[in-house]
Structure 1
């Protein structure tokens, strides 16, 4: 991001643009670091190299000679929205993993759903990936491979592995059954290959309407993994595609397209988030029946990012935009990369954050304090100091000659004048922060009060002599006297507090937007209505703010620390030469943690203790939690037996380790298994969600016992709850208890698949928004997203979004 300015050492708006070749950390990388800074940019530190289970996997593959020594990863976003901070973790991981081993990373757009995708999203995604410092070796689209995918579909039909089903979608969904109920074969499952092939070609030719037929894989209707029960491979969708236009009217499903794209591109390691763990079986089935492939892609899963005080669901982010709860995708309160960039966050800070949280196999909610810690550490190094008064209180220095202005030379970096200085005007009429004066100060007050002295930052010591009041007795201004001997070389230091200030007339007005966390609760996704958790103070504007004159030349896109206020960013859109506008990136201290009486900063990761080069003792290494649990199992045979039994049930070593942390946790898990014997699902919900909601409490102390928890997971596996509704129900059960099925019904969270019920809900939503419906029908098509959000809320988020969209389109005409 180039900045305007005079250039030169210490010039405001100077910029340094550089490429940094550095080793990857944790599989993340600094492919290219681009810094947009103010004067005196601090040098970046070189990252260290460390490992995780994915780097270990790649190293093992290379050692075994797999894939011909190649490492190819990919980042495959769907172009239906803007990227967010969770995508940044995936981008850095995929690009970093390949860079660490001298491999390649492809940027691939998964454009298989023409109704939600747009070229504007493609352009935004490309810009975000580049901003993070990553350059792809190949740019592809799923649509590049539509012809090859279709050929694969015909091959499956010819070889007896797929058939065309002409039943309604509702019948297919019902026949697939659930975990506790086997599937029922379609009456068209044994349709002759020639007939299915003819129907498939008619589907492609556009002879059949949407929903009239689908192509299904012929696998196993009794398979324990519901996804393997003759899954859909192609569906009809008559919609204009942003790249292929109207050339296609059938589109591949994700589970069919994803493995084929990886194979076509020569991807070796397909890195996905944990929600695709169950899809891996189908991923392998597709490749096994359409190979051989060289290299043969393999899918691996890691924990996606869940961040406190944040929502990362694209649907919810789109709702925030469409309902104008925020100003757009790049609103600085949004967790999108565009929003973070406009707030002043740097790509280096995001890479530091990714390194701090690491790569895990189990989902958990990351404390947002860790992100803010990484931001402060980054901005502290790069942001020069300046003065701004956000809520001005006039101050008259009565002992200063009227009309006289003294230009004080102050450094941008206190104590480091060699990194640049600027001139700050001092005169009779000044402004200080209103909160820096107290008529009846508390104990320990080190700011201004009647009869007390304070130093004006970088300038003179003044004493408050008189308070000027308004008609209602309010404080309107202060009259102070200054000590001429208190400034300059040799001036005595008095140990006083210091306040920032600006000249009343020589300072410049500048809108200053004070951004804060968008949500007021740590887990808004767990709330019945996430919109009710919005923080009403997430944006306030200091409309009367004044900044020192030098900041008038602050180039758009530069970063600053306003003394005692926080870190600020000259808005790249609204700032003008001589008329800057500033966005607050972050306060200087964690005020949220202070409210909760917690430490202000999360500690940085401690370096691993290494043995001295001479072979001496390095001192006792700190035990990890896994080590402590292993020792506990060694001392408790019953725990060791359960660990072995859980591994025998097919659980990963990590899950078995967590579940045998103690006998109480293992007992809770066993009680859940007795109610719902699908070990993988119960373990996943317990380790990924329940432990986080418990917030350190013993599971036995929760109002949700193990058996009830098992019944909750059974509801999810039976398909009766959408993912978001399941999380909301679990949070309610942890807080209040109750029978899961009954609470699901009371809260109205059960999935709605009945088209009539959805139609009634959509009709109610439209009736309540008649004005918007009329504007939409008059041609204001951008209101569709708003109306879709209203319809989804009317169903309380429990309906299939695709069904709601279809019904809404019908009712809108």
Structure 2
């Protein structure tokens, strides 16, 4: 590559490195620069083997700039691209659509209705994020109702009630009301009796298979024409626990010839032999099905707008029959598609995660490999970052994909300014140091000189990552220390100034002392990583989020005698 071409590559690489760094408010990445650079300059392609080395030097120089310096330099080199980038940032600020007919209600009241079978996974965050945001937009109310009326198939986990409320708090919201459906069984009984008296329900002892055949043939159940008195008597026997599981149900009388068989005379109550895990509800045996319980509660708690999955459209139609019997007005309904989250190998399923924990495949709900809110919280991800990403998905009826990179980008914006910088070296190689100062003094934060510098000892030797080790007689720049040349197992200080870095001849690398260091275990979604950090890292407090330069942000989790444990957040 001749000098003229090299200069062109460096100019183009600097622009794209700055665009990459400013767009994502982080260090630029060689791989992210390579694609647009080669696409914009096809005449560079014959030199594809040499280009990454040139880009690497440029990226190192760009990453050495502060956030403000990167933006200022981009304004000099490519003002139009910077303006487009800023315009894109503004257009990406998502606003939720207006709630339908909200002006017709004195107060907007919405509810999240979790099944308390375990802490929440990432996908669960969408509901409270959207409802909580609507509450703020309309100065409304946010109700949390635990739909825990299935003690057998979706058996509640006693620890999950508080765990879910803790997850909601983490996301930044406080419910106005918290209800447990299992506390309200007597209320459901009363409305069932009213429905029976209104001629809207009947007891049925058909087997599931027998009724299914009748339903699919649009034929009435032989019990459908029971008088209200008989139905009430048999329902009271259900309440008293006189039937076994599967022996008797209470059905809502709908349209036996309805074009949708799923809506024909659906079950409102069934018998369950398994006691509820809550002591307050363990005596009940006749339990309401979700559509009956939820429909009654939505009316009694004044819910005005319901957000639910597109796959639950039949629920609104079933509940409408009950509302018609009682003369109630059904809430406004917003149906949305499922959210699918990338990055995780573990399925977004509470039962699947629980199985992996029980089998020892995961350490717990906050294992960094688990796709849970508790895991993200332990990794140092702010709840606000998750909410902003979820709200950005809107309320489309189509299935939507959420990239974890969106959450990471939001979080980076929240934590970058306050996160001090330190060095962590993984799988390092040790070198003696000759001729230079006794220590390096990199800044605690490149944008905050007032925070001062760190002291990283070098006199006893240094350790650098294996991939950063220069070839014999080659130079590298130890960040905060200076330029050194490799001579065997020794780094000899050369006295070069920063111009060596700016010319692209010398790579900037991080490092740590060979002896006076801090052993660290970094827990990541890909497994644990061991390394050593600089001594000033001991100043970072537990629960503090810091950045290991060139590696990423981490949350300090635990200080031990032998090592410090941190949880990796993101780059």
Partner SS, residue 472 of structure 2:
coil
Contact kept in structure 1, 2:556 and 2:567, CA below 8 Å: yes
Runs of 5+ unmatched residues, structure 1: 1-41, 438-447, 467-477, 516-537, 589-813
In structure 1, what is the Cα distance between the partners aligned to 2:151 and 2:507?
62
Matches within 5 A, 1:68-83: 69-83=106-120
Superposed displacement of residue 388, structure 1: 0.4
Partner SS, residue 271 of structure 1:
strand
Superposed displacement of residue 230, structure 1: 0.7
In structure 1, what is the Cα distance between the partners aligned to 2:361 and 2:490?
44
In structure 2, what is the Cα distance between the partners aligned to 1:322 and 1:361?
35
Deviations 1:559-582 (A, max 9, x none): 1221111222212xx444884211
Q: 1:235 to 1:282 in 2, by over 3 A?
A: same
Matches within 5 A, 1:99-118: 99-115=136-152, 116-118=155-157
Deviations 1:725-756 (A, max 9, x none): xxxxxxxxxxxxxxxxxxxxxxxxxxxxxxxx
Partner SS, residue 321 of structure 1:
helix
Deviations 1:252-297 (A, max 9, x none): 101111111111111111221222122211122222222446xx53
Superposed displacement of residue 217, structure 1: 0.8
Aligned to 2:457: 425
- In the alignment, structure 1 residue 453 sits paired with structure 2 residue 494: no
Matches within 5 A, 1:240-279: 240-242=276-278, 244-279=280-315
TM-score (norm 1): 0.56
In structure 2, what is the Cα distance between the partners aligned to 1:203 and 1:320?
38
Aligned to 1:172: 211
Superposed displacement of residue 70, structure 1: 1.3
Deviations 1:190-210 (A, max 9, x none): 223222211111111111111
Contact kept in structure 1, 2:115 and 2:148, CA below 8 Å: yes
Contact kept in structure 2, 1:556 and 1:576, CA below 8 Å: no
Contact kept in structure 2, 1:553 and 1:578, CA below 8 Å: no
Higher strand share: 2
Partner SS, residue 457 of structure 2:
strand
Contact kept in structure 2, 1:225 and 1:278, CA below 8 Å: no
Aligned to 1:414: 446
- In the alignment, structure 1 residue 397 sits paired with structure 2 residue 455: no
In structure 2, what is the Cα distance between the partners aligned to 1:421 and 1:479?
26
Partner SS, residue 150 of structure 2:
coil
Aligned to 1:498: 508
Aligned to 1:580: 564
Superposed displacement of residue 368, structure 1: 4.1
Aligned to 1:193: 228
Aligned to 2:19: none
Aligned to 2:493: 482
Matches within 5 A, 1:724-739: none
Aligned to 1:686: none
Instruction: Report the RMSD for the aligned CA atoms in angstroms.
Output: 2.8
Contact kept in structure 2, 1:149 and 1:260, CA below 8 Å: yes
Partner SS, residue 220 of structure 2:
coil
Question: Among residues 148, 151, 164, which one is paired with 1:125 in the alignment?
Answer: 164
- In the alignment, structure 1 residue 514 sits paired with structure 2 residue 524: yes
- In the alignment, structure 1 residue 61 sits paired with structure 2 residue 102: yes
- In the alignment, structure 1 residue 290 sits paired with structure 2 residue 322: no
In structure 1, what is the Cα distance between the partners aligned to 2:328 and 2:394?
35
Deviations 1:130-163 (A, max 9, x none): 1111011111111232111111111122222111
Question: Among residues 173, 196, 216, which one is paired with 1:134 in the alignment?
Answer: 173
Contact kept in structure 1, 2:484 and 2:494, CA below 8 Å: yes
Superposed displacement of residue 320, structure 1: 2.8
In structure 2, what is the Cα distance between the partners aligned to 1:542 and 1:367?
24
In structure 2, what is the Cα distance between the partners aligned to 1:414 and 1:322?
45
TM-score (norm 2): 0.78
Superposed displacement of residue 554, structure 1: 2.4
Deviations 1:750-771 (A, max 9, x none): xxxxxxxxxxxxxxxxxxxxxx
Q: 1:234 to 1:492 in 2, by over 3 A?
A: closer
Partner SS, residue 567 of structure 1:
strand
Question: Number of paired residues?
Answer: 480
Q: 1:197 to 1:492 in 2, by over 3 A?
A: closer
Contact kept in structure 1, 2:94 and 2:394, CA below 8 Å: no
Give the stretch that moved more between structures: 184-193 or 162-171.
184-193
Question: Among residues 230, 233, 237, which one is paired with 1:202 in the alignment?
Answer: 237
In structure 1, what is the Cα distance between the partners aligned to 2:133 and 2:384?
14
Aligned to 1:470: none
Runs of 5+ unmatched residues, structure 2: 1-67, 69-88
Contact kept in structure 2, 1:430 and 1:504, CA below 8 Å: yes
Q: 1:358 to 1:513 in 2, by over 3 A?
A: same
Matches within 5 A, 1:330-349: 330-349=366-385
Partner SS, residue 581 of structure 1:
strand
In structure 2, what is the Cα distance between the partners aligned to 1:247 and 1:287?
29
Contact kept in structure 1, 2:116 and 2:146, CA below 8 Å: yes
Partner SS, residue 463 of structure 2:
strand
Matches within 5 A, 1:745-784: none
Partner SS, residue 435 of structure 1:
helix
In structure 2, what is the Cα distance between the partners aligned to 1:429 and 1:279?
69
Aligned to 1:760: none
Contact kept in structure 2, 1:556 and 1:580, CA below 8 Å: no
Q: 1:342 to 1:451 in 2, by over 3 A?
A: same
In structure 2, what is the Cα distance between the partners aligned to 1:577 and 1:298?
58
Give the stretch that moved more between structures: 494-503 or 205-214.
494-503
Deviations 1:490-510 (A, max 9, x none): 999765211110101111111
Aligned to 1:386: 422
In structure 1, what is the Cα distance between the partners aligned to 2:409 and 2:457?
34
Aligned to 1:613: none
Aligned to 2:193: 154
Contact kept in structure 2, 1:552 and 1:579, CA below 8 Å: no
Asked which structure has the greater RCO (Cα within 8 Å, sep 6+), the reply is 2
Deviations 1:511-563 (A, max 9, x none): 12232xxxxxxxxxxxxxxxxxxxxxx32x223x1011122232222212211
